[in-house]
Amino acid sequence: MWDSEKHRTGELAPRSSSRRTIYRLFRRLLILSCIALIIFALIRGIHVPPEYEKFKQANVGHKTTEPASSLRGNNHKDAPAGRVPLEAHIMSKCPDAQYCLEKLIVPAMTQVHDKVDFRLSFIGRYVSNKSSDVSCKHGPAECVGNMLMLCAANLPFPPGAQTQNKTPIVRSLGFANCLLASYDKIPERELVEDCASEFGLDFGALNACVSRQVDEDDDKRTSIDDPDKDKVSGLALLRTDFKRNAALGIKKSCTVRVNENIWCIRDSHEWKDCQPHGDETPTLVDEINRLYDNSQI
């Protein structure tokens, strides 16, 4: 009997040891997996400040039903009545634009996104009235970055749908903010793909829009009817913005306007020509709330 018990015990011992080994390996793998997930989350979180996450959560399930114009989808005559025009005039490879969006625009939009008609517009160095030529202060790469952000705001939504609905602001502004967080890398493909994926935009549609080299006056010049004239053209969007900002006399990135009046300017790493405390989010939010409330009377 003892020999039998000893034999059975001898058989069980290796099994118990084996189980402990498997358990230790499983525990280590679990710990490593958790660490990997934390690192991944940190990497993915680099682009978006905490304030934007609040804005994103506030817009979960938000559907944009405003019709898109042929060029711009916001700050137009069909905007919902009473909304306060809020506009940021920027250059996509400008550090002041990055700071302006992250520290002022996005935190403000977190609180008043449903009270404003927001527009992100772009400042150019030169736009020709005789040809399609344009130039940007920080070079051709900036022109591409500008077009990417303009296309993101004006593409049909959901992607690929035959609809007049445009990309919701929560997505287009998030995409722009994501690119600007690494403005020195604009327009590297990996950055654009990552930001497009993060905010649910179709990279192929963005690429097609930026690649479409048809400007707003081509039909007039050639007298040829373009069968794809209803498709969004990054060049047309860019030229329209450049002309508009030139007419407004806006040259500094980032210039913030509220209700079509200059609110504050971020230039050369400083806030300039601001309304009292205009560079502070609470002040901007209070002004938008005041204007919105007055429009409801």
Q: Is residue 236 part of a domain?
A: yes
pLDDT tens, position by position, 58-91: 443 333 333 333 333 345 455 677 899 999 999 9
* CB within 8 Å of 187: residues ≥ 6 apart: 141, 144, 145, 148
pLDDT tens, position by position, 129-183: 888 889 999 999 999 999 999 999 999 888 777 767 899 999 999 999 999 999 9
Q: Is residue 198 part of a domain?
A: yes
Q: Is residue 76 part of a domain?
A: no
Compute the radius of gyration of the chain from its Cα atoms: 26
Tokens of 213: 């080299």
Domain of 291 in residue numbering reads as 84-296
160, HSE (Cβ side, Cα atoms, 13 Å): 4
Q: Is residue 174 part of a domain?
A: yes
Q: Is residue 108 part of a domain?
A: yes
Q: Is residue 54 part of a domain?
A: no
pLDDT tens, position by position, 95-115: 999 999 999 999 999 999 999
What are the beta bridge partners of residue 166?
Answer: 156
Q: Is residue 145 part of a domain?
A: yes
Q: Is residue 113 part of a domain?
A: yes
CATH of the domain at 144: 3.40.30.10
**Number of compact structural domains in the chain:** 1
What predicted TM-score, i.e. pTM, was given to this entire model? 0.73
Q: Which tops the pLDDT comparison, 268 or 42?
A: 268
